[in-house]
């Protein structure tokens, strides 16, 4: 348990990337593998070093709702404030 907390503290010092799911919705199309419905998920990721934000990226990840296969991820980046 102490090793896990030490690793989390070390990630804060050397750099960590946090991902947060902001929205999820049905997308048009079907999975090429199993034919299931496609789900579009908006993910916001931020990279920090020494608790200072370096960049903020918004990703749109597409996955199959039946087989959970990741289909594609579209990345759009913006500068941190």
Domain extent for 37: 2-79
The total number of structural domains in the chain stands at 1
Residue for token digits 């608790």? Answer: 51
Q: What is the pLDDT of residues 7-54, one digit of tens each?
A: 666 655 566 778 899 999 999 999 989 999 999 999 998 888 877 878
Q: What is the pLDDT of residues 53-68, one digit of tens each?
A: 788 889 999 999 999 8
Residue for token digits 């931020």? Answer: 46
Residues forming a β-bridge with 73: 61
Cβ-based neighbour number of residue 63 at 10 Å: 20
Cβ-based neighbour number of residue 38 at 10 Å: 19
CB 72 within 8 A of CB 63: no
The better pLDDT of the pair 70, 14 is held by 70
Q: Is the pTM of this model over 0.85?
A: no
Angstrom distance (rounded) from CA 20 to CA 60: 12
């Amino acid at each position: 348990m102490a090793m896990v907390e030490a690793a989390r503290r070390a990630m804060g010092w050397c750099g960590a990337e946090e991902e947060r799911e902001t929205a999820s919705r049905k997308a048009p199309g079907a999975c090429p593998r199993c034919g299931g419905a496609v789900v579009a998920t908006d993910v916001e990721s931020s990279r920090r070093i020494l608790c200072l934000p370096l960049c903020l990226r918004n990703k749109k990840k597409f996955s199959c709702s039946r087989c959970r296969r990741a289909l594609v991820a579209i990345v759009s980046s913006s500068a941190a404030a």
